[in-house]
Amino acid sequence: MIKFDDVVLRYPRAARAAVNGVSLVAPRGAITAIVGPNGSGKSTLVRALLGRIAPERGGVSLDDVRLETLTRREAARRVALVPQREEPAFPLVVRDFIGLGRYAFGGVWSGETPADRAAIEHASNRAGVSEFLQRRTTDLSGGEWQRVRIARALAQGGDALVLDEPTAFLDVAHEMGVFELLDTLAREGRAVLLVSHQLNLVARFATRIALLHNGALAAFGSPAEVMRGDLLEKVYEWPLVVSRDPAVGAPVLVPLRHRAPRSTQ
């Protein structure tokens, strides 16, 4: 379980807090999503989980243990995190890249243990990357790269999984593949916390959605509670309607145009 309790986060010398009094919980067994416009504080919350920015007020806890009482290694054994952007400085072989997920379990001179090998193999199978373990990270497509990064997070173990926009730049099939995988992982009992711009997919897969606006929580509840036209229109500052998808029954956001579309005849 990942818990943010009245968290205030401020970057050095910034006048305004990037996150201002956010409380939310990502329980085990469910996908919890964080959505909101650009600059609303989503990624700053993730940075707090990485210990890269210390809360000015409030706190972050993992299974009721305050994050600041854990070393980075201990935290990494509890929560695996897939950051938004990542570009290795030098290309790596996929198998080695996934193996880096085991860092928090190894000693200075210890090589790969049987437990490491088992975790890497299991994670590769789960994320569906077993066929290209010997390829280089630079030779992967966008969808493969995201799955490889998720595989590394799975090799890391831990009961909590955090992903910052894991489906950016992915086509429909790969995007759905990632969401289906996250859904399975959550059903197995993990706490999955997902930052995403894909409101419509989030509405279908997440149990609860946190909507951020200017660093504060505009809403936190079930998809039906958060996917309201009036609320989203105010937060995103764009005209839109929310309807119900006839095929799957989930709420669907449809952004409107400021001007009527030109006639096509």
Partner 1 sequence: MKPRTWIILLVVLAVAALAGLALGPVSLAPGTVWHALFGDGDANAVAIVRVLRLPRIALGVVIGAGLGMSGAALQATLRNPLAEPYLLGVSGGAAVGAVIAVALHFTSLAVLPIAAFAGAAFAVTLVLLVARAAGARGDPRVLLMAGVVVGAFANAAVMVLLAGAPAETVRGALWWMMGSLSDATWQGTRWVAVYVIAGGALLLALSREIELLALGEDPAAALGVDVERATRRVYLAASLVAAVTVAGAGLVGFVGLVVPSIVRALGARSVRSVMLGAAIAGGALVVAADVVARTARAPAELPLGAVTALIGVPFFLSRLRRMT
Question: What residue ranges bind partner 1 (CB under 8 A)?
Answer: 47, 50-52, 71-73, 75-77, 80-90, 92-93, 96, 100-101, 103-104, 106, 108-109, 152-153, 156
Bridge partners for 243 per DSSP: 252
Nearest-approach distance from CB 247 to partner 1, in angstroms: 36
Nearest-approach distance from CB 188 to partner 1, in angstroms: 21
| Contact yes or no for 60/219 (Cβ under 8 A) | no
Closest to partner 1 by CB, 83 or 128? 83
Structure token pair of residue 176:
């759905």
Nearest-approach distance from CB 119 to partner 1, in angstroms: 13
Closest to partner 1 by CB, 96 or 131? 96
Closest to partner 1 by CB, 8 or 104? 104
What lies within 8 Å, CB to CB, of 86 at 6+ separation is 149
Can you tell me which residue has the tokens 């504080």? Answer: 41
What lies within 8 Å, CB to CB, of 65 at 6+ separation is 78
Closest to partner 1 by CB, 70 or 231? 70
Structure token pair of residue 184:
């399975």
Nearest-approach distance from CB 51 to partner 1, in angstroms: 6
Phi, psi of 172 (to 5 degrees): -55, -45
